Amino acid sequence: MKITFQHKDQNYETDLSHPLDISIPLKPGAHSVNCFYAPLMETAPVIAGDFVGSTAMGGPVNFLNIRLNPHGNGTHTECVGHIAKEPFTINQSLNNFHFIAKLVTIYPSRDVNNDRMVLKKQIAEVLQSSEAEALIIRTMPNDELKLQTNYSGSNPPFVHHEAIKYVVECGIQHLLIDLPSVDREEDDGKLLAHKAFWQYPDKVRKNCTISELIFVPNGIKDGLYLLNLQIASFEIDVSPSKPVIYDLKKI
């Protein structure tokens, strides 16, 4: 199904029958993405008396309990409740689900401390003010190992807080990235990038979100897309999520 709409005085067309899924599938076991030493995702059938919630075990239906940590087990979208003392929830914070998004590709820089980070100057080269509502950052190198990497203890790349401040100045409300966190894995609880994005605690951007551990295949080109950001209706700070983007064509 094709739809048309206008953005910044430009008319666009997109085909909703051709989605590009940029989420990482959630699956149990060690062969899945993991970070911050989170327990691996697990599933187990409900067992009650003679009932077994597994067709493989002879039960009439599959009826599974799931244990997961959204922040550590896969693609997730979080709100300011992730760092706030106040009880913000993702279900209350995210109440629109379609956005104009810009996909950019960046090779994180390495500093004298061997940290790899996305810098302000790198984002300033690819993003202008009011260009989009959402920013999708694909970091290089990029391959399907990102679908099953265990990042715990590896000091993966992150985003410098000055880069985040620039993103906010450009009007970005939703940031999506293929890293475990916008902040350094171990930063003594400073969370400078998270705080800069949500402007917490002074001018809280309570309807803005960060999505982490996405995966954008190399075949998807940089540029503007229509983003559909899908979550479960969890009344906590975070939800597993399924960001889907659609090609935009100028008309």
Domain range summary for the chain, segments of one domain joined by +: 2-35+69-250
H or E element that contains 197? helix 192-198
For residue 190, the model assigns a pLDDT of 97
Of all helices (H) and strands (E), which one includes residue 161? helix 161-169
Residue 72 dihedral angles phi and psi, to the nearest 5°: -110, -10
Q: What strand order describes the sheet that includes 158-159?
A: 109-110, 116-118, 158-159
**CB within 8 Å of 51: residues ≥ 6 apart:** 59
Instruction: Of 2, 5, 30, 39, give the one whose Cα is nearest residue 18.
Output: 2
Tell me what the pLDDT averaged over the chain comes to. Answer: 97
Provide the pLDDT confidence category of residue 71 given band limits of 50, 70 and 90. Answer: very high
φ/ψ (deg, to 5) at 45 = -70, 145
Tell me how far apart the terminal alpha carbons of the chain are, to the nearest angstrom.
Answer: 16
Write out pLDDT tens, residues 162-208.
999 999 999 999 999 999 999 999 999 999 999 999 999 999 999 99
Confidence of residue 112 (pLDDT cuts 50, 70, 90): confident
Q: How confident is the model over 103-132, as a mean pLDDT?
A: 96
Please give the average per-residue pLDDT across 45-64, as a whole number.
97
Range 69-96 average pLDDT = 97
Q: Which residue has the tokens 């899945």?
A: 32
> Does the structure show a pLDDT above 90 at 1?
no
Contacts of 220 (CB under 8 A, 6+ apart): 20, 22, 103, 245
Cβ count within 10 A of residue 119 = 17
> Is residue 212 scored above 90 in pLDDT?
yes
- Determine which of 28-32, 118-122, 160-164 has the lowest per-residue pLDDT on average: 28-32
CATH 1.10.3720.10 fits 2-35+69-250, yes or no: no
pLDDT in the model for residue 205: 98
